[in-house]
Every structure is written in structure tokens, then in C-alpha cells.
Amino acid sequence: MAQQYHFKIVMCGDEACGKTSLILRYVDNVFRDNYIPTLGVNFMTKDLNIEPETRLIIWDIGGQASWKAKLSFYLAGTDGAIIVFDLTRPTTFLGVEEWMKKIQAIAGANTPFVVVGNKNDLKDLRKVSKKEVEKFLQKQKYSIYIESSAKTGENVNTLFERIAKGIVKLKRK
């Protein structure tokens, strides 16, 4: 029987960045226009067709400040993280570094990250440049940057596949 990996992926980021929308697009291939905040944490799973067989257990962590007190519980045992910010709201980009620090402190310094600039479809409203993000991430270890749109589906599968492949690579070392 082929080996199967189960990876805990945490989806983090400030409130209303599109974390849940990205997960729903990835798992169910749907997009909902109405915003419903995640209260605490939700879970979804998805099997990947990569070698070895991989199941992602995706923890959708609410971005509201009131839930941050429970972060150590939510982040424990994390294999990888997807940190999402909204390309139209610069304050959400400023929160990326804080999320990285919290994840590394709890899950470990070598935890792989994918940083996602979401809402790439809103080009006329964009306020965070790709160059600005790449400059920030140059000093970060194990991080990848991807721009996506949960609405159009652009790069959604890619971001989950990249984090899974990054974790497999680390586990094989």
C-alpha cells in the first residue's frame, strides 16, 4: 500500500481577507459573494493527486482579534501555513509578519509558508504592490508568494499544491 501523508495546514490572516473563500474555492469549487466571518476555527479536508498521496486537513482560523488568545491551541502541530492578506487593504499586509512570528513560535522556525495576496481580480482597487511583498519576503525562510483570486479561482489550486510539496520536501530531509 502506498504511503499517505496527512498534513495540518493553517489558513491565517487578518479578518475579511478571503481565507474561507479560498478554501471553499479549493475544496468545493464555489465562491460566495456574501461575507460570513469565521468564528474560531473551521476544518475542511482535501486529497491531493501528488506523490506521495496527500490529504490536507485545512484549519480555517478566524482573523478577529477576539480569537487570537486561542492561537497556540489552533497552531500546535501545524505542518504548514498559508497566510492571506487582501491586496486592496494594506493593513492586512502589515499583519503578515505578526502571523509569521506567531506560527514560527508555536509550530517551529522551519514551518513552510505560502503568503497569498488575495483578491487579485480587483485590479483597480489594488493598493499593495507585488514588489513591496517580494521585498518583505526576501528575508523570510521557507516562504513562497502567490497572488490569487478566490472569485475567479486564479492560482487557488497552485497555492495549496505548493504548500503540500514544500512540506513533503521538508519531511524527506
CA–CA distance, 102 with 92 (Å, rounded to integer): 15
On the question of pLDDT at 120 being above 70, the answer is yes
pLDDT band at 72 (very low <50, low <70, confident <90, very high): confident
Number of domains within the chain: 1
- pTM, 2 dp: 0.89
Q: What is the pLDDT of residue 109?
A: 86
> Which residues, including other chains, have CB under 8 Å from residue 84's CB and lie 6 or more apart?
11, 12, 13, 17, 18, 19, 22, 116, 118
Domain housing 66: 4-172
What CATH number does the domain containing 123 carry?
3.40.50.300
